[in-house]
């Protein structure tokens, strides 16, 4: 099992975590669906336990995901095995668990942190959170130090061990990384989106790079095409028109070209496994967190580690397909 150190922390984690957004089920933000459709809680629990048995110990969720439902499912799945798990969750929004509605209020973010943390601890049925992440990607970097400094108080109290920020803003990430117990920046990254600035911040400040959207909402798996349709409670519903655009066609073309490159060389990696291996090869700090709903999806993603990293030649060929300068030397 490929392992990674979680930034400047003393925690060793599996090089792939499970992204637990999809298992939260339906929920809305600004009257728009931000869940991934209906879920089978029993299958979610079986998938998490399969991952645990296979050596995966890092699970990433958020209070938002199903308005607490994802956190509760994780708690059920890891019952009796908390000491073997590195739990990461997020805060920053107002959640209505009963109606499954998330709302935004930037007026008193710092004043709500303790309450939000304690609510997550209750749902997770844990005395502490290993990695507590600020969830507001676009929060003003000028105000971020207040959030960071309050998180240090929670570290001192033993409620959290380490913290980070889920943001695609390098300047904001730099502010948070000044905190002694900031150990991870979560940001978007995938084979078509190499984000050198974010990785530079992680390198400079000894942060783990936790990589969301490693499979681009399923596009990188080969299981989504120009004719795909999604249910109304799936966040991808309404965005199907994008799949018919020229931009999407180009993305599909590149994904297929990468698949063909490996197939022609006799490699049996699936498209998802190629995409994950690209992230691990990109940097020793990367920890992709692909989402899942089934045991089969988790199994396929874990098997990606059995193939190992990509070669420099393979990485260069992928860069050529994406018509960009080499991402590694």
Which residues in the chain belong to E strands, given as ranges?
Answer: 3-5, 12-14, 18-19, 28-29, 32-33, 58-60, 86-91, 94-96, 101-103, 129-134, 160-166, 182-188, 208-212, 286-288
Q: pLDDT tens digits, residue range 241-276?
A: 999 999 999 999 999 999 999 999 999 999 999 999
* Alpha helices in 158-229, H assignment, sequence order: 170-176, 196-204
Number of independent structural domains in the chain = 1
Residue 184: helix, strand or coil by DSSP?
Answer: strand
The boundaries of the domain holding residue 109 are 3-215+284-308
Q: pLDDT tens digits, residue range 92-136?
A: 999 999 999 999 998 899 999 999 999 999 999 999 999 999 999
Q: pLDDT tens digits, residue range 135-153?
A: 999 999 999 999 999 999 9
- Whether 325 is covered by a domain: the verdict is no
pLDDT for the residue numbered 177: 97
How far apart CA 173 and CA 167 sit, in angstroms, is 7
CATH for 201: 3.20.20.100
Residue 317 has pLDDT above 90, yes or no: yes
- Whether 329 is covered by a domain: the verdict is no
How far apart CA 187 and CA 289 sit, in angstroms, is 11
Of the candidates 24, 103, 96, 101, which has an alpha carbon nearest to the alpha carbon of residue 66? 24
- Whether 106 is covered by a domain: the verdict is yes
- Whether 240 is covered by a domain: the verdict is no
Q: How far is CA 5 from the centre of its chain?
A: 16
Dump the DSSP string for 224-288: --TT----TTBTTTT-HHHHTSHHHHHHHHHHHHHHHHHHHTT----HHHHHHHHHHHH-TTEEE
- Whether 301 is covered by a domain: the verdict is yes
299 phi, psi to nearest 5 deg: -60, -45
| The token pair that represents 45 in the structure block | 């629990």
Burial category of 241 from C-beta neighbours within 10 Å (exposed 0-12, middle 13-18, buried 19 and up): exposed
Question: Which helix H or strand E contains 189, and what residues bound it?
Answer: none
- Whether 227 is covered by a domain: the verdict is no
Provide the pLDDT confidence category of residue 305 given band limits of 50, 70 and 90: very high
- Whether 258 is covered by a domain: the verdict is no
Residue 238 has pLDDT above 90, yes or no: no
Q: What percent of the chain has pLDDT over 90?
A: 97
How far apart CA 284 and CA 9 sit, in angstroms, is 15
Average pLDDT value for residue range 38-67: 98
Residue 85: helix, strand or coil by DSSP?
Answer: coil
Average pLDDT value for residue range 44-65: 98
User: Are 91 and 113 a contacting pair, CB within 8 Å?
Assistant: yes
Q: What's the predicted TM-score (pTM) here?
A: 0.97
Provide the pLDDT confidence category of residue 50 given band limits of 50, 70 and 90: very high
Q: How far is CA 120 from the centre of its chain?
A: 18
pLDDT for the residue numbered 141: 96
Residue 231 has pLDDT above 90, yes or no: yes
CA angle 211, 158, 120 (to 5 degrees): 55
33 phi, psi to nearest 5 deg: -65, 130
Radius of gyration for the chain, computed over Cα atoms and rounded to the nearest angstrom: 19
- Whether 252 is covered by a domain: the verdict is no
CA angle 278, 212, 209 (to 5 degrees): 70
211 phi, psi to nearest 5 deg: -105, 105
Query: Greatest CA span in the chain, whole angstroms?
Result: 57
How far apart CA 200 and CA 177 sit, in angstroms, is 12
């Amino acid at each position: 099992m490929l392992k990674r150190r979680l930034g400047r922390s003393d925690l060793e984690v599996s090089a792939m975590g499970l992204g637990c957004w999809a298992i939260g089920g339906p929920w809305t933000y600004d009257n728009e669906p931000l869940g991934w459709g209906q879920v089978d809680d029993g299958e979610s629990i079986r998938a998490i336990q399969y991952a645990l048995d296979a050596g995966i110990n890092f699970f990433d969720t958020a209070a938002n995901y199903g308005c607490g439902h994802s956190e509760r499912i994780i708690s059920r799945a890891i019952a009796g095995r908390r000491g073997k798990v590195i739990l990461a969750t997020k805060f920053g929004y107002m959640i209505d668990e009963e109606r499954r509605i998330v709302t935004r209020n930037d007026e008193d973010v710092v004043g709500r942190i303790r309450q939000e943390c304690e609510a997550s601890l209750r749902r997770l049925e844990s005395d502490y959170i290993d990695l507590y992440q600020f969830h507001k990607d676009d929060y003003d970097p000028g105000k971020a130090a207040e959030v960071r400094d309050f998180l240090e108080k929670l570290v001192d109290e033993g409620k959290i061990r380490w913290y980070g920020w889920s943001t695609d803003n390098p300047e904001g990430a730099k502010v948070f990384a000044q905190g002694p117990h900031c150990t991870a920046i979560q940001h978007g990254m995938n084979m078509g989106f190499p984000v050198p600035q974010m990785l530079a911040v992680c390198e400079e400040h000894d942060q783990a790079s936790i990589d969301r959207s490693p499979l681009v909402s399923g596009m990188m798996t080969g299981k989504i095409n120009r004719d795909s349709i999604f249910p109304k409670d799936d966040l991808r519903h309404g965005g199907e028109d994008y799949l018919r655009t020229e931009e999407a066609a180009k993305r599909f073309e590149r994904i297929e070209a990468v698949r063909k490159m490996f197939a022609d060389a006799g490699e049996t990696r699936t498209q998802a496994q190629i995409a994950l291996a690209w992230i691990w090869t990109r940097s020793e700090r990367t920890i992709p967190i692909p989402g899942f709903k089934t045991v089969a999806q988790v199994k396929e993603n874990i098997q990606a580690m059995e193939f190992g990293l990509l070669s420099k030649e393979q990485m260069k060929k992928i860069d050529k397909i994406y018509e960009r300068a080499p991402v590694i030397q």
